[in-house]
Structure formats: C-alpha cells, structure tokens
C-alpha cells in the first residue's frame, strides 16, 4: 500500500483510541444513558471526539473508563466523586508502572 493511501476504517477497529461509537451505541454498550455520558464529559473524565457533524464519538478506551465510573455510581458514589476516583486510579496505575520500570530497567538500558 502506498504511504499516501489513507487507512481503511476496518484497519482502525483494533485501535483502542479510535472514536468508533456514537453516543447512543456507547451508552447501550456500558448500560448507561446518554445523559450519563454527557455528565462524565462535563466532569472532564472523558472528552469524546466530535464527528464532522458535531456528534460525540467514543473510543473503546473511553468506554472502559465510563464503565468503571458507572460501576462506582451504581454502588452509590456521586458522579463527581466517581470521576475523581477513576482519575486517581488511573494516575496510581501509571505511577506504579513507572516505578516498576525504574526498579527493573529493560536490558541494555543505561542506568546512569
């Protein structure tokens, strides 16, 4: 395939960050309402991309985050608290990953 050829839409289906899902489909997939997705967007937990027509589009990665927030809300947490918990969980996971990398550098990596 020549380098200037745009990727086919099917090539993007495995991309966790590709905004493939409409608001209605995304809400259905996580068992929530479109209003819930709007609310977590307003809380800045996720920022959906917009189609050329201005419609919200969600990626699989965003849907996993939204599903976690929904679990917390279903367990009784206010939506703002659920969003903050998910953000803090994500930050902790990243910090632990970086800590592990620093403790056990990849072979051949400079430790200076």
* Placement of tokens 């201005």 in the chain: 54
**How many residues comprise the chain?**
112
Strands 49-50, 56-58: pairing is antiparallel
The whole-number pLDDT of residue 1 equals 47
Tens of pLDDT, residue by residue over 38-54, are 999 999 999 999 988 99
Rounded to 10°, the helix 79-103/34-42 angle is 60
Tens of pLDDT, residue by residue over 61-100, are 999 999 999 999 999 999 999 999 999 999 999 999 999 9
Between CA 89 and CA 19 the distance in angstroms is: 23
The residues facing 58 across adjacent strands are 21
């Amino acid at each position: 395939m020549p380098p200037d050829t745009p990727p086919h839409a099917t090539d993007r289906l495995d991309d966790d960050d590709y905004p493939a899902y409409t608001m209605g489909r995304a809400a259905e997939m996580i068992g929530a309402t479109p209003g819930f997705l709007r609310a977590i967007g307003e809380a800045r937990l996720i920022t959906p991309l917009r189609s050329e027509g201005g419609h919200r589009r969600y990626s699989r990665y965003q849907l996993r985050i939204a599903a976690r927030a929904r679990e917390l809300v279903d367990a009784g947490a206010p939506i703002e608290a659920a969003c903050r918990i998910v953000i803090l969980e994500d930050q902790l996971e990243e910090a632990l990953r970086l800590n592990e990398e620093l403790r056990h550098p990849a072979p051949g990596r400079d430790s200076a």
